[in-house]
Amino acid sequence: MIIVKSLQEIELMRQAGRIVAGTLQELAGAVRPGITTIQLDTLARQYIQKSGARPAFLGYHGFPATICTSLNEEVVHGIPGLRRLKAGDIISIDVGVFYKGYYGDAAATFPVGEVSPLAKRLLEVTRESLYKGIEKAYPGNRLYDISAAIQTYVESRGFSVVRSYVGHGIGSEMHEEPQVPNFGLPGKGPLLEAGMVLAIEPMVNAGTWEVETLSDDWTVVTKDRNLSAHFEHTVAIMQDGPEILTSF
């Protein structure tokens, strides 16, 4: 069942979303050659705690950190550690918080110093595909209108969408129904209604859409080890259209 939120609940989700956005903003300013991913994790944890929220990923199914940091061929769920960013890397950072009973969830991929033309294009296309999906988040549309808009845009640019990981409903649970795939047929899927809140999150690969999980049981990488990018927003479907709760 897809849980429809009241306006009061959406107001609390706005507050959670603002903390997620602030965290990503802070991290965007810290990403540079030489910084380690665990230093980014510490910055995120401090920001979230200072805001009175709780990191949502820490301890989730045993995840050991506040944020996910996924570099280059890593798609999602990378674990922060002693690895130092270097110029030319791209880093996807996923942030989730729990605040006053509700979750917020967003991600973005950042270039580290100067990156290749391919990496630049992958980031642009992935970010843009997220907005193509969000534009379909209207009451009266169908869920896979969002999915199809993302897939069509990404594939028209020569990239591929990951199949095995998808977006999700979000609210008093981090993962609620429905699943929000980044592929599908327009006009299909559940009817969208005002009050639904979705985490829409295209994961886009430069090469094959296939992925595999490393032996740490967390880090998902592209099967061909080509680059991958990830952008995500928590989006409330309002009477008059989508409202991005995690804008930064």
Q: Is 14 helix (H, G, I), strand (E, B) or coil?
A: helix
244 is a contact residue toward Mg ion (CB under 5 A): no
Classify 37 in phi/psi space as left (phi over 0), alpha (psi -120 to 50) or beta. Answer: alpha
Residue closer to Mg ion by CB (options 74, 105) is 105
Site for Mg ion in 178-217 (CB under 5 A): 199
To the nearest whole angstrom, how small is the minimum distance from the Cβ of residue 88 to Mg ion?
Answer: 27
Residue closer to Mg ion by CB (options 115, 211) is 211
To the nearest whole angstrom, how small is the minimum distance from the Cβ of residue 105 to Mg ion?
Answer: 4
Q: What count of Cα atoms within 13 Å lies in the side-chain half-sphere of residue 209?
A: 16
To the nearest whole angstrom, how small is the minimum distance from the Cβ of residue 170 to Mg ion?
Answer: 7
Residue closer to Mg ion by CB (options 71, 174) is 174
CB atoms inside a 10 Å sphere around CB 26? 17
Site for Mg ion in 88-117 (CB under 5 A): 105
Between the alpha carbon of residue 213 and those of residues 6, 61, 245, the distances in Å are 38, 16, 30
Q: Which of 98, 48, 91 is nearest to 68 (CA)?
A: 91
Count the residues of the shown chain that bind Mg ion, applying the rule CB under 5 A: 2
To the nearest whole angstrom, how small is the minimum distance from the Cβ of residue 142 to Mg ion?
Answer: 21
Residue closer to Mg ion by CB (options 41, 176) is 176
Contact, 139 vs 235, CB < 8 A? no
Q: Catalog residues that contact Mg ion under the rule CB under 5 A.
A: 105, 199
